[in-house]
Amino acid sequence: MLTGVADYHPVPLEFERLPPEESRARSRTFLDLMRRRRSVRMFSREPVDLELVENAVATAGTAPSGAHQQPWTFVVVSDPAVKARIREAAEAEERQFYARRGSRQWLEAIRHLGTDAVKTHITDAPYLIAVFEHPRGADGRKHYYVKESVGIAVGFLLASLHSAGLAALTHTPSPMGFLREILERPAYERPYVLIPVGYPAGDAVVPDLDRKPLEQILVRR
């Protein structure tokens, strides 16, 4: 523990240690919940309570970050006109990707997802969350472990949305510079991911995918 450092001001940790059975029950319940999470590309236009989205963003804001610099901004978009502009710009980039930019190997890797350059989810979903990372702060100071920090925060965000009964999709049209322009973000912010949020359409379908079993992703030593 650091001592004698002027900027270090420790406070007592607030931590509740759970009984073993409750720990296991909570762990199993959360695992079962997250196993049912799917990326959705077909959204209903049914309204969504804004509090659910705001709570998810607040949850993302609790994520750990390098040097506790919290290098992120979450822009929640509901204006149909703004969503239409974002879709137009995203589809322009996606058409370039599918026609020219995407390598044969990359296109082959995503073929089983059934995606193309048409992105109806951008205008159908009642909300878009545009996530921006901050390589530097407004004061020009360098931020550390930015992508790792924002990635963890997005994971918290997706888990919160799913636990609230909402569907989401991580969409990364490349390049995404148009997001900064359309959403009028400062130069020190860089687009990280675009996340449509809402309820699935009544006829929504998803790819038939399998996740790797625990035995393939966990190494015990």
Q: Which domain holds residue 72?
A: 53-201
Going by C-alpha positions, the residue among 172, 83, 87 that lies closest to residue 131 is 172
The pair of structure tokens assigned to 151 is 């990635």
Determine the average pLDDT of the residues in 81-98: 97
The C-alpha R_g of the chain, in whole angstroms, comes to 20
Q: What is the pLDDT of residues 190-207, one digit of tens each?
A: 999 999 999 999 999 999
In a domain, residue 61? The reply is yes
In a domain, residue 194? The reply is yes
Using pLDDT thresholds of 50, 70 and 90, give the confidence band for residue 7.
Answer: confident
pLDDT above 90: percentage of residues in the chain? 95
pLDDT the model gives residue 4 = 57
In a domain, residue 195? The reply is yes
In a domain, residue 46? The reply is no
Helix (H, G, I), strand (E, B) or coil at 132: strand
Q: What is the CATH number of the domain that holds 152?
A: 3.40.109.10
Q: Which residues fall within 8 angstroms of residue 87, CB to CB, at 6 or more apart?
A: 119, 122, 123
In a domain, residue 15? The reply is no
Nearest 5 degrees, angle CA 145-CA 148-CA 153? 120
In a domain, residue 179? The reply is yes
Could you give the CA distance from residue 38 to residue 193 in angstroms, rounded to a whole number?
Answer: 17
In a domain, residue 210? The reply is no
SS (H, E, C) 38-85: CECCCECCCCCCHHHHHHHHHHHCCCCCHHHCCCEEEEEECCHHHHHH
In a domain, residue 181? The reply is yes
How many domains does one find in the chain? 1
